[in-house]
Amino acid sequence: MSAAPKRLTTSAMIASLAAPGQRTKPAPFGHALVELAASRPEVVGLSADLSKYTDLHIFAKAYPERFYQMGMAEQLLMSAAAGLAREGALPFATTYAVFASRRAYDFICLAIAEEKLNVKIVCALPGLTTGYGPSHQATEDIAIFRGMPNLTIVDPCDALEIEQAVPAIAAHQGPVYMRLLRGNVPLVLDEYGYKFELGKAAMLRDGPDVLVISTGFMTMRALEAATLLEADSIKIAVLHVATIKPLDEARILAEAAKPGRLVVVAENHSIIGG
């Protein structure tokens, strides 16, 4: 009788994305925001009763006078962020991806995106990264937000990219939605000399047999698969697409057009609208 398959390790709020023994960094978003705020006094943080679970508590401890706890009211969270942006602040508003995309859609669209306000919406539990079920699984957040005008969308892979993306999206003038991995986040991309560039895809490794076009933590999985399949002499290229909107269509089409390669897309999202 075969052994039962090992179940995915989960906590109350998030599944474990790190393999046993994999390198991680704690709360990269929170620490990156604290570092940014040291030179940008206009940076403020807001959360809808989830600062601990979006790593914003790091910022709140460092800058309590610049932190706003809005309670479990995502519509109010986004409206307040819009108001702060109008007064010259640079708000980073955090909640779960499912709450931002479903509960606060109208407020984000009308108060932030349509007005091109400089609000950064950073949301944990993107896609299938929680054991809490459909109420907390944001499997359609990218589809929902892609249709909003003026909104840039970023899906980082690991701790390094989160650290690099925070100052990059702060430097971008306009609204941004960024998916967030929180807690002890795997560290992968430093091995590839990676540097985040808003709006640009990056070839992490090349190969003639298969091209995997991936985003978010699925790039981590693609790199793991590529390493394993090398033992079978299958050489896989991994094109990491951290910016979903605007999409680097030119680079994607150029790589996909190369002859002789199977093309696979890997994303943490529904196949509809991802």
The CATH code of the domain that includes 196 is 3.40.50.920
Domain assignment of residue 93, given as a range: 24-186
**59 and 139 assigned to the same domain:** yes
pLDDT of res. 12: 46
**63 and 107 assigned to the same domain:** yes
**142 and 196 assigned to the same domain:** no
**Binning pLDDT at 50, 70 and 90, where does residue 16 land?**
low
pLDDT in tens, 68-77: 999 999 999 9
**67 and 112 assigned to the same domain:** yes
Of residues 127 and 253, more confidence is placed in 253
Round to whole Å and give the CA distance between 123 and 83. Answer: 19
* Beta-sheet strands, E only, within the chain: 24-26, 43-47, 67-69, 90-96, 120-124, 152-154, 176-180, 184-186, 202-205, 210-214, 236-240, 243-245, 262-266
Instruction: Please enumerate in sequence order all residues whose Cβ is within 8 A of that of 87, keeping only pairs 6 or more positions apart, or say none.
Output: none
| 90, β-bridge pairs | 43
pLDDT in tens, 210-229: 999 999 999 999 999 999 99
Q: Which amino acid is at 135?
A: S
pLDDT of res. 4: 62
Report the pLDDT averaged over residues 253-262. 97
Q: Residue 263 corresponds to which tokens in the numbers above?
A: 């093309």
**198 and 161 assigned to the same domain:** no
Three-state DSSP class for residue 236 = strand
Does 239 reside within a domain?
yes
Instruction: Please enumerate in sequence order all residues whose Cβ is within 8 A of that of 72, keeping only pairs 6 or more positions apart, or say none.
Output: 48, 49
Given a cut of 60, whether residue 18 has pLDDT beyond it is: yes
Given a cut of 70, whether residue 39 has pLDDT beyond it is: yes
Q: Residue 18 corresponds to which tokens in the numbers above?
A: 């790190």
Read off the CATH number of the domain in which 63 is found. 3.40.50.970
What's the number of CA atoms in the CB half-sphere (13 Å) around residue 143? 14
Does 274 reside within a domain?
no
pLDDT of res. 9: 53
Report the pLDDT averaged over residues 62-83. 97
pLDDT in tens, 152-190: 999 999 999 999 999 999 999 999 999 999 999 999 999
Residue whose structure tokens are 């800058």: 63
Burial 106-138 (b: 16+ CB within 10 A, else e): ebbbebbbebebbbbbbbbbbbebbbbeeebbb
Least confident of 51-65, 117-131, 204-218, 254-268: 117-131
Domain-ending residue, one of 162, 186, 210 = 186
The torsion region of residue 88 among left (phi > 0), alpha (psi -120 to 50) and beta comes to left
Given a cut of 60, whether residue 15 has pLDDT beyond it is: no
pLDDT, averaged across the chain: 93
pLDDT of res. 6: 58
Q: Is the dihedral of CA 198, 274, 136, 110 positive or negative?
A: positive
Given a cut of 70, whether residue 59 has pLDDT beyond it is: yes
Round to whole Å and give the CA distance between 47 and 240. Answer: 29
Domain-ending residue, one of 186, 201, 228 = 186
pLDDT in tens, 227-246: 999 999 999 999 999 999 99
> CB 258: neighbour CB atoms within 10 A?
12
